[in-house]
Amino acid sequence: MFSRISDEAKWTKVLAEASKAVVALRLSNVRSFDSSFASCGQATGFVVDRELGLILTNRHVVLVGPISAEAVFENHEGVVCQPIYRDPIHDFGFLKYDPSKVQYMDVGELKLFPAGAKVGKEIRVLGNDAGEKIMVLRG
């Protein structure tokens, strides 16, 4: 839990800003190979560049075969996305959407800051619970 009230207030402020960048992803894919199946699912991602319309998510979300994807923002506005990169080694992938298609949401962004990642550093995760709502895991 929080050690001080001010920590909770800071987290509340960060959460309010960060949630503008979090998206629920709705996906479906066709059967890409003989050993795979057509499927549909939901995932979480976050906008890392709102001007370019780039969303970072996990590698398994950006499937090998053709996918149909939609990013749904906090205000429930959805936009079509296309997969643009799936890292072959690390667990991340990128989707791209057209920022001009977002009409009613002031989209936030979470800039990547790899230099800030340190072993043993406390993290907090913001995401979507089955695409229904924003949830927070404290760790």
- 21-61 pLDDT tens trace: 999 999 887 766 666 677 778 889 999 999 999 999 998 88
For residue 61, how many other CB atoms are within 10 A of its CB? 23
Domain count, the chain: 1
pTM, whole model, 2 decimals?
A: 0.80
3-state class of 121 per DSSP? Answer: coil
Q: What is the dihedral of CA 54, 57, 61, 64, to 10 degrees?
A: 60
CA count, 13 A, side-chain hemisphere, 75: 10
Query: Can you give the residue range of the structural domain that contains 92?
Result: 5-31+40-138
Return the residue matching tokens 């906008």. 47
What CATH number should be reported for the domain holding residue 59? 2.40.10.10
Question: By the 8 A CB rule, do 125 and 135 touch?
Answer: no
